[in-house]
Amino acid sequence: DTGVSQDPRHKITKRGQNVTFRCDPISEHNRLYWYRQTLGQGPEFLTYFQNEAQLEKSRLLSDRFSAERPKGSFSTLEIQRTEQGDSAMYLCASSKAEVGELFFGEGSRLTVL
C-alpha cells in the first residue's frame, strides 16, 4: 500500500495560466476528496467523489475550478486563469465508504506570481 500520492508537489505559475494537479488514492478506496489550505488555516473542503461521481462541490469552488475522476481511480483538479488568491496547498484524501477514515497525500503547493 503506497498511500495517497499527489503530483506535482510544488507548482509556481504566473497569473492567468492554467494548472492541473493529480491525485492517486489508496487503491481500494472509493471516496476521494480535495481540500485547500492557506497559511494558518485548517483545510477547507472543495469537492468529493464516490467512485467516478462528483457528489458535492463547495461554493469555494468557482467556475475556474474543475475536478474529475474518470473511471473512479485517479483524480485531477484543474484551475483555469489562476489568480494570486489561488496560492495555497491543495490536499487530496481518500477513504473507504464503509469506514470514513480519511488518509491524506503530501499536498501540492501552488504559488501564483
Partner 1 sequence: GIQVEQSPPDLILQEGANSTLRCNFSDSVNNLQWFHQNPWGQLINLFYIPSGTKQNGRLSATTVATERYSLLYISSSQTTDSGVYFCAVERTGGFKTIFGAGTRLFVKA
List interacting residues with partner 1 (CB under 8 A).
Answer: 31, 33, 35, 37, 41-45, 48, 50, 55-56, 89, 91, 93, 99-104, 106-107, 109
> Which H/E stretch holds residue 23?
strand 19-24
For residue 81, the minimal CB distance to partner 1 (Å) is 25
> Is 24 within 8 Å of 89 (Cβ atoms)?
no
Q: Among residues 77 and 89, whose Cβ is nearest to partner 1?
A: 89
Quote the CA–CA distance of 9 and 3 in Å, as a whole number: 15
Least distance to partner 1 from the beta carbon of 33, Å? Answer: 7
CB of 25 to partner 1, least distance (A): 15
Enter the C-alpha cell of residue 86.
Answer: 489561488
Nearer to partner 1, 22 or 57 (CB): 57
- SS3 call for 72: helix
Residues 76/20, Cβ–Cβ less than 8 Å = yes
Give the nearer residue to partner 1 in terms of CB position, either 67 or 93.
93
